[in-house]
Amino acid sequence: MSNTRNKILVVGATGTVGAELVKLLDGSGETVKAATRDPSRDLGPNVEATRYDFDDPSTFDGALKDVNRIFYLSRSADPIAADVARPLFEKAAALGVKHIVNMSALGVEMDASISLRQVELLLEESGIDYTILRPNWFMQNFATGFMNDMIREKNGLFIPAGDASVSFIDTRDIAAVAAKVLCQEGHANKVYALTGGESFTYEAAIGKVAEAAQRGVIYAPIGEEDMKAALQDQGLPEAPIAFMLGLFSRLRSGINAPVEGDVEQILGRKPLSLEDFVQEFASSF
pLDDT, one tens digit per residue, over 193-237 is 999 999 999 999 999 999 999 999 999 999 999 999 999 998 989
Per-residue CA distances from 130 to 3, 103, 125, 166 (Å): 22, 11, 10, 27
What residue ranges do the domains of the chain occupy?
Answer: 7-135
Q: Within 13 Å, how many C-alpha atoms sit on residue 38's CB side?
A: 5
Mean predicted confidence (pLDDT) in 14-24: 96
pLDDT at 218: 98
Confidence grade of residue 138 (pLDDT, cut at 50, 70, 90): very high
Confidence grade of residue 4 (pLDDT, cut at 50, 70, 90): low
Q: Is the pLDDT of residue 191 over 90?
A: yes
pLDDT tens, 50-100?
999 999 999 999 999 999 999 999 998 898 999 999 999 999 999 999 999
pTM: 0.95
> From CA 19, how far away is CA 12, in angstroms rounded?
8
pLDDT at 5: 64
* Least confident piece of the model among 193-197, 236-240, 251-255: 236-240
Write the DSSP assignment of 1-62 as a string of letters.
---TT-EEEETTTTSHHHHHHHHHHHHTT-EEEEEES-TTS---TTEEEEE--TT-GGGHHH
Provide the 3-class DSSP secondary structure of residue 128.
coil
Average per-residue pLDDT for the chain? 95
Confidence grade of residue 156 (pLDDT, cut at 50, 70, 90): very high
DSSP 169: B
> From CA 28, how far away is CA 44, in angstroms rounded?
13
Fold of 7-135: Rossmann fold (3.40.50)
Percent of the chain predicted with pLDDT > 90: 89
Starting from the edge strand earliest in sequence, which strands make up the sheet with 99-103, in order?
A: 47-51, 31-36, 7-10, 67-73, 99-103, 129-135, 190-194
For 171, phi and psi rounded to 5 degrees? -65, -20
pLDDT at 185: 95
Confidence grade of residue 2 (pLDDT, cut at 50, 70, 90): very low
pLDDT at 23: 96
pLDDT at 6: 83
CB 205 within 8 A of CB 166: yes
| Element spanning 102, H or E | strand 99-103
> From CA 282, how far away is CA 256, in angstroms rounded?
25
